[in-house]
Amino acid sequence: MKFSSHTMKAAACFFRSLFAAALALLSSAARGQSDPEKTPHALSPGRDWVTPAIKAQGVSHHVFHSASTKGEVSYHVYLPAAYEAEPERRFPVVYWLHGSGGGLPGISSVAARFDRAIREGKAPPCLVVFVNGLPMGMYVDWADGSTPVESMILRDLLPHIDATYRTLASREGRLLDGFSMGGYGSARLAFKYPELFHAASLVGAGPLQPELNSTPRASRIQAEDLLRRAFGGDQKVFREASPRVLAERNAQAIAQGTLVRMVIGEKDETFGNNLAFHRHLESLGIPHSWTVIPGVGHDPERVFQLLGDENWAFYRKAFAGSGDILAVPHDRARDPDHR
């Protein structure tokens, strides 16, 4: 059977159109999963609030109900060997805030670092709660009300941890630590709620600049996108939530009762903003330590490696005396629902 050139051209055109349509459909589906412009907030909070479990030394994965998110939220927790060995003892808690992109990849190394230091007697036995701050949650309540990360932590997670584990349930038993976005979160939560946290560690922290119109580690477009998603596109909202303004408002309380440290790599792109923030705290009369790690960039593993035992000196100072807290109520100690 022979086909005319017109028929063959029409057929070819048809199949090209069909292929293009299929390709467009597949591309659209892919964008629906990963393109920030196709999702409300470059997140899928219903999915990201509950992460997969990570296996690590002394670490377990848990899910609890959060009234703030109106759903389930996951967290990981490290328990030192002393937690099981001394069932009448209460322990201080480190709330570890991860950086942007999500904190799952770093849980194993952070837990191993704590476990080793505690076993060697360099750090006091403590719980480490790995908070789920979402990939770019910024440890704030988003301006549009969609993503209440701060409320989840303060109103739901802290009470849950104190009710579930044998914690030293007071500000003297709580420390915030984190790298990059986590350092920003540590600063803003500790400075906003000095009555809840005794110490704050800011390691490679950011963003610490006065306005979010550019970032050292991202493009202007990415900074604008983050400003729009988390802060409603309003620089005033960003400033009001920032550690800079919170430090100004609560300078006296922070200066009198909060142990603060700043650690930054000399070659970290955020060094300039950290240096300016360090000077800002000095101008406010807020005591803090300032440590620069020579020759290191935005690399948490390298920073903590070179920080060495100085890292644990901060923890010993923050939790001085907490190891003597005993006398857990017997009814709670026998309750199988409490760890």
Task: Give domain status of residue 145, yes or no.
Answer: yes
Q: How far apart are CA 217 and CA 268, in angstroms?
A: 9
Domain hosting residue 148, numbered range: 46-334
Q: CA nearest 248: which of 187, 303, 294?
A: 187
Same domain, 28 and 77: no
Same domain, 206 and 125: yes
Q: Which of 4-8, 23-27, 126-130, 194-198 comes out lowest in average pLDDT? A: 23-27
Same domain, 18 and 81: no
What average pLDDT does the structure give for the chain?
Answer: 85
Same domain, 198 and 286: yes
Q: How far apart are CA 160 and CA 309, in angstroms?
A: 31
Same domain, 256 and 173: yes
Same domain, 28 and 144: no
Same domain, 162 and 102: yes
Q: How far apart are CA 308 and CA 306, in angstroms?
A: 5
Task: Give domain status of residue 39, yes or no.
Answer: no
Same domain, 144 and 196: yes
pLDDT tens column, 29-76? 333 333 332 333 444 445 599 999 999 999 999 999 999 999 999 999
The pLDDT value recorded for residue 214 is: 74
Q: Is the pLDDT of residue 240 over 80?
A: yes
Both tokens of 192, joined, read: 């906003």
Same domain, 105 and 246: yes
The pLDDT value recorded for residue 79 is: 98
* pTM metric for this prediction: 0.83
Residue pair 50/73 in contact (Cβ under 8 Å)? The answer is yes
Task: Give domain status of residue 41, yes or no.
Answer: no
Same domain, 24 and 142: no
Q: Given CA atoms 128, 134, 139, 145 in this order, what sign does their dihedral have?
A: negative
The pLDDT value recorded for residue 222 is: 84
Same domain, 17 and 103: no
Task: Give the total number of structural domains in the chain.
Answer: 2
The pLDDT value recorded for residue 221 is: 82
Give the model's confidence band at 215: pLDDT under 50 very low, under 70 low, under 90 confident, else very high: confident
The pLDDT value recorded for residue 158 is: 98
Task: Give domain status of residue 239, yes or no.
Answer: yes
